Structure 1
Amino acid sequence: MDRSDNSYSRFISWLKVLLPVSALALLSTMFLISKSVDPTTSLSYARVNLEELTGEQRIDSPRFSSVTDDGAAITFSAKSAVPDPDKTNVFTAEVLSARIETPDGGAVDIDAAKALIDGSSNIVDLSGGVTLVTSTNYEIATDGLTTAMDTTSAKTNGPVEAEGPMGHIIAGQAELTRQGDDNATYLLVFKEGVKLVYQPQTEGEVK
């Protein structure tokens, strides 16, 4: 009995030492783990990601097509578009291309570096360098252009330079208009100080 009592006493004594030490080891491990994960840092990181997701509402490769009230088909496409945070139905587009196909069989291809698209007024303002290529073999370069989405209308915002069948043209403005309200004929008009350097076609060139 004495031997068993002594063994039991020694066992209890060891437990009194081991249990507190084990508890301290567990607590220290918990503190070490809590230090390796900073909840404040994780929260700020989550906030940054959320701001990036909500702030960057970009549309990749948007495309829009419609038929105007005078029967022309218009197609717009861009590399990307970003909605205006302060205005409804207004977008800023990058690397925009447009094609206008008129009922009389004509066509105009338009390329621009940037565009401001206002869906409320159906107006597109092109900027950053604009080029137009018509089916009548005119190639026009200008800084800016305004066109409509609901009717066949395009007007440069400043001077233009063009190459065409008649030669090199410099003008204060160029405009694509419809001739008469009931006439399906469309005209490309150069105006405001037009200068033409006539380049006659030589034999063998396609007229």
Structure 2
Amino acid sequence: MARAQNTYSRIVAWIKIILPLSALGLLSTLFLFSRTVDPTLSVPSSQIDLEQRAQDLGATNPRFAGVTQEGDEIRFAAEFARPNRETPENLIADGVTAQLRLNAGTVIDITAGQADMQQGQMTASLMGQVHITTSTGYVIDTERLNSRLDEVYAETPGQVTATGPIGALTAGRMLLHNNAESGEPELLFTEGVKLIYQPGETGE
């Protein structure tokens, strides 16, 4: 019995020595493998391209409205607008809607996927499935429409398809402007116009 107690006492004595030494070994290992910290170094921070951030700034639901000298109302709206990266003085607008309320009574509604607005020149280039409807019965589709913001003027540099009171047509170019002689707005289709005439029903 005495032998067993002596053995137990020896084990306890060894444990009291081994455990503190093991703890010291672990602590020294932590210090050896930890990185040296230089207090003169600044706190790490992500690199931010301030110019990129500035270009990404924009406005939600911007609006523009004006009246021409002839009394025609021009309204532009967009879902979002931001500075153009190539020419920051211009704006790129997404989800564009525009309306021209002509003094003669005609209303023209326009939608487009995007627009590049040149503020200095008071012009806008609408692109991406440009859709135009007029209160006189025309429905026009094209890929690009160049217009002014200070007068009634819009033209397409490419092909247009349209339906209207006279039928369905395609043309190489469309122009909306005020006639120089009469002063009244007119819609012209030019350059390879193809018309499928669809006469309306006539009463008896």
CA shift for structure 1 position 56? 2.0
Q: Which amino acid aligns with 1:188?
A: L
| Change in CA separation of 1:174 and 1:87 when aligned onto 2, cut-off 3 Å | same
CA shift for structure 1 position 81? 0.7
- Find the residue that maps to 1:144 and give its secondary structure: strand
* 2:28 alignment partner in structure 1: none
| Change in CA separation of 1:134 and 1:156 when aligned onto 2, cut-off 3 Å | same
| Change in CA separation of 1:203 and 1:116 when aligned onto 2, cut-off 3 Å | same
* 2:3 alignment partner in structure 1: none
| Change in CA separation of 1:189 and 1:48 when aligned onto 2, cut-off 3 Å | same
CA contact (8 A) 2:84 2:91 kept: yes
For the residues of structure 2 that align with 1:148 and 1:55, how far apart are their CA atoms? 25
* 1:178 alignment partner in structure 2: 178
For the residues of structure 2 that align with 1:142 and 1:188, how far apart are their CA atoms? 15
> For 1:71-110, what aligned pairs fall within 5 Å after superposition?
71-85=71-85, 87=87, 89-110=89-110
CA shift for structure 1 position 69? 2.7
* 1:151 alignment partner in structure 2: 151
* 1:19 alignment partner in structure 2: none
- Find the residue that maps to 2:79 and give its secondary structure: strand
> For 1:34-183, what aligned pairs fall within 5 Å after superposition?
40-41=43-44, 43-44=45-46, 47-48=47-48, 53-85=53-85, 87=87, 89-180=89-180, 183=182
Q: How many residues align?
A: 169
Q: Which amino acid aligns with 1:173?
A: R
For the residues of structure 1 that align with 2:141 and 2:111, how far apart are their CA atoms? 10
CA contact (8 A) 1:62 1:81 kept: yes
CA shift for structure 1 position 84? 2.5
| Change in CA separation of 1:162 and 1:82 when aligned onto 2, cut-off 3 Å | same
Q: Which amino acid aligns with 2:143?
A: D
CA contact (8 A) 1:107 1:135 kept: yes
CA shift for structure 1 position 144? 0.4
CA shift for structure 1 position 150? 1.1
Higher helix share: 1
CA shift for structure 1 position 85? 4.5
Unpaired segments of 5 or more residues in structure 1? Answer: 1-27
CA shift for structure 1 position 140? 0.3
- Find the residue that maps to 1:147 and give its secondary structure: strand
For the residues of structure 2 that align with 1:165 and 1:123, how far apart are their CA atoms? 30
Q: Which amino acid aligns with 1:106?
A: T
CA contact (8 A) 1:173 1:192 kept: yes
For the residues of structure 2 that align with 1:190 and 1:51, how far apart are their CA atoms? 44
- Find the residue that maps to 2:196 and give its secondary structure: strand
CA shift for structure 1 position 87? 3.2
Q: Which amino acid aligns with 1:152?
A: V
CA contact (8 A) 2:75 2:100 kept: yes
For the residues of structure 1 that align with 2:186 and 2:55, how far apart are their CA atoms? 43
Percent identity over the alignment?
33
